[in-house]
Structure 1
Amino acid sequence: MGAFEYIEMKIPAKPEYVGIIRLTLSGIASRMGFDYENIEDLKIAVSEAITNAIQHGYKGSKEGQISITFGIYSDRLEVVVVDSGKSFDFEKVKGMIGPYHERNQTDLLNEGGLGLYLIKSLMDEVEILQNEGVTVVMTKYLEGEQVETDGKIVST
């Protein structure tokens, strides 16, 4: 997995706070060397995941919190959005994520329309864990760090 650093933020589950996360994400991704187009893709995908958490995780509740964690690796950025609002162990959550189940994930995020489809089209990897809330893990690789061989994606 390699050494990494992470930044964790919590916001009230309200749309007006999404911009703060977009600004933070832009700063982190720019510092890592992502180009403009990839930064825009990241911002759209992460905004969509947060909006889903606000709309579906809390259904208008005024009390909810959303946790956003940025895992900064040498070859990729992982963004984790958790709608339970509780602190979590980044490595533990990563270890709990099982195999991809298309049907379950589609059910979770498609209520809002494009939801998961949009996120998946903009990110390199998307994983979802449902426990007390919904955890969405989105990964974007730095250009040239990922190659496809015989249909399997490997890091270089």
Structure 2
Amino acid sequence: MVSAPDFTLSLPARSESVGVVRHVLGGVGDAWPVDAELQDDILIAVGEACANVVLHAYADAPAGVLDVRGGTEDGHVVVVIRDTGPGIVPRPQSSGLGMGLPLMAALTERMETGHADDGAHEVRLTFPKVRR
């Protein structure tokens, strides 16, 4: 969880929600200590995490909720993406290329996945301090 989020969103886990998240990130990013390259990395990594929720989190159940919280901690931008699906499990029928998690890991300083105390699945993306 982000200790003091700059924004919190709770949206239906549908494809159009990914665009809403990217739009909000574009606006709030102006207040974060990021340059243009890092802003792009944040948009790509968070967009990928949100797309994973839309495509995979509720594959065997009705669509649920996509929660996104973002803020800064010790000069780092941190974004947490949550869902109430089963988490990351092998899905042989998946239409994805399997590049999402490696891409997110490459664009972040740290990527953590797991289940929160309330049972929600979380992906926590911590981005490097601003590059100059």
Residue 108 of structure 2 corresponds to residue 142 of structure 1: no
Q: Find the aligned partners of 1:108 and 1:69 in 2 and give their Cα distance.
A: 26
Name the counterpart of 1:44: 44
Would the aligned equivalents of 1:75 and 1:142 in 2 still touch at CA under 8 Å?
Answer: yes
- Distance of aligned partners of 1:36 and 1:129 in 2 relative to their CA distance in 1, 3 Å threshold: same
Deviation at 1:71, TM superposition (A): 2.6
TM-score (norm 1): 0.67
Task: Determine whether 1:57 maps to 2:57.
Answer: yes
For the pair shown, the structure with the greater C-alpha radius of gyration is 1
Q: How many residues align?
A: 122
Corresponding position of 2:106: 121
| Structure 1, unaligned runs of 5 or more | 86-104, 145-156
Structure 2 unaligned spans of 5+:
none
Amino acid in structure 2 at the alignment position of 1:44: I
CA contact (8 A) 2:33 2:75 kept: no
Give deviations 1:119-146, integer Å, cap 9, x for gaps: 00111110011364421000113226xx
Kindly state the Cα deviation for residue 31 of structure 1 after the two structures are TM-superposed.
1.3
Identify the structure with the greater helix proportion.
1
Task: Tell me: CA distance 1:108–1:129, structure 2 relative to 1, closer, same or farther (3 Å).
Answer: farther
Task: Note the C-alpha offset of 1:72.
Answer: 2.2
Q: Deviations over 1:82-133 (max 9, x none)?
A: 0118xxxxxxxxxxxxxxxxxxx7x569x63101100001111100113644
Alignment of 1:1-150 (within 5 A): 5-6=4-5, 7-59=7-59, 61-84=61-84, 112=96, 113-130=98-115, 132-143=119-130
Moved more, 57-66 or 118-127: 57-66
TM-score calculated relative to the size of structure 2: 0.78
- Determine the C-alpha separation between the residues in 2 that align with 1:39 and 1:62: 33
